[in-house]
Amino acid sequence: MNPLDFVKPSIRELLPYTLRQYQYELKLNQNENPFDIPLELKDKLLAYARRRSWSRYPDFVPEEFHQKLAEYTGWAKEGILVGNGSNELIKDICILILEKGSRVVIPVPTFTLYKLISTALGAEVVEVKLKADYTFDMEALSEAVAVHSPALIFFSSPNNPTGSILPIDGLEKILQETNSLVVVDEAYYEFSGTTCLPLLKKHRNLIILRTFSKAFSLAGLRVGYLIADPELVKEIAKVKLPYNLNFFSQIAATYVLENRALLQKRVEYIVRQKDMVYQALSGIPGVKPYPSYGNFILFETLFDVKSLFFALLRKGVLVRDVSGYPMLSRALRVTISKEEENRRFIRTLREAVDAAQ
């Protein structure tokens, strides 16, 4: 008996979500924050972790953290749920809604996990391409929603990997017209400064996802949250694993929220650096960057994209090869970092392009 015969065909057919490991000097491939958490905060956290018993479970409901998130978002704490990264919450929402034959509408190219989990649960994914300039095609989306009546619609805004943002009026139209549940993943919210949170008051079919992995420098501790109608949150909480967030991550995220003035300055710095990198990329022949609301930039190249990726890597600079995504066969994505590192990336890219000509 082949043990693989036990595995659902929907899973056997999936391509795994993987990240190839490379040797690098400069890591610009995962949209992480180049600034680590300040040492004083780490020390405070470690002191707390020393005092607290590790043999005891974390709180069943992390009340204090929920309270801090309620203050930060301006949304009732009953309408907030935390996860082991927002990835976990994407899975929980899919478990809540999808079954074999359910339909899911997803604009593409986008973050791959939405399709992966939907497909694993037997749902049928309807992909709607972005426009040629990688902005959202709201007309095509409205039409797809009308034709397919999906159970779930996923948006990433700003969209990873293109950086485009979902127009609020277009989103509101979809929320009004549809009976679907709409998820807007705002993982890069703090960099964009725009949110669809105000729409939550009027539209109970909206869920917003956020993360501490990007602007808040906590990717290593896995903290995300969702904001939704409190009644809906109660249902999602039923499928979430108990104690999904360990005490260490809970406390770290709480400290981070208490100290967000400093983090906000860093976000502003990264946004300024993004503008600098965008300008510099625009000046390189054969390279075309796309405007981004996140902490990353998608750029296309006239040169062979794999060769360019490896030419950068040979000089120590690791960016993300997104050429396997729909529509993006000529594209790479770079994460914005500190000024010196951004300059090194630009310099290295310029050299690689000169060599390719």
- Between 107 and 346, whose beta carbon lies closer to ligand PMP? 107
Q: Is the dihedral of CA 110, 114, 120, 122 positive or negative?
A: negative
- Between 75 and 212, whose beta carbon lies closer to ligand PMP? 212
Instruction: With beta carbons less than 8 A apart as the criterion, state whether 293 and 191 touch.
Output: yes
Distance CA 258, CA 212 (A): 13
Q: How far is the CB of 31 from ligand PMP (least distance, A)?
A: 6
- Between 109 and 346, whose beta carbon lies closer to ligand PMP? 109
Distance CA 198, CA 176 (A): 14
Point out which residues bind ligand PMP (CB under 6 A): 31, 85-87, 111, 156, 160, 185, 187, 211, 213, 219, 224
Comparing every residue's Cβ against ligand PMP, the nearest one is: 85
- Between 18 and 55, whose beta carbon lies closer to ligand PMP? 18
Instruction: With beta carbons less than 8 A apart as the criterion, state whether 97 and 232 touch.
Output: no
State the DSSP code for 58: P
Q: Which residues contact 149 (CB under 8 A, 6 or more apart)?
A: 103, 178, 179, 180
Instruction: With beta carbons less than 8 A apart as the criterion, state whether 245 and 98 touch.
Output: no
- Between 159 and 323, whose beta carbon lies closer to ligand PMP? 159
- Between 222 and 344, whose beta carbon lies closer to ligand PMP? 222
Q: How far is the CB of 101 from ligand PMP (least distance, A)?
A: 26
Q: How far is the CB of 6 from ligand PMP (least distance, A)?
A: 28
Q: How far is the CB of 2 from ligand PMP (least distance, A)?
A: 33
- Between 187 and 319, whose beta carbon lies closer to ligand PMP? 187
* CA 250 vs CA 49, 69, 107: distances in Å: 11, 11, 32
Q: What is the dihedral of CA 152, 157, 163, 165, to 10 degrees?
A: 110
Q: How far is the CB of 91 from ligand PMP (least distance, A)?
A: 10
Q: How far is the CB of 290 from ligand PMP (least distance, A)?
A: 16
Q: How far is the CB of 3 from ligand PMP (least distance, A)?
A: 29
Distance CA 218, CA 253 (A): 8
Query: Quick one: which H or E segment has residue 288?
Result: strand 287-289
**Length of the chain in terms of residues written:** 357
DSSP bridge pairs for 299: 289, 332
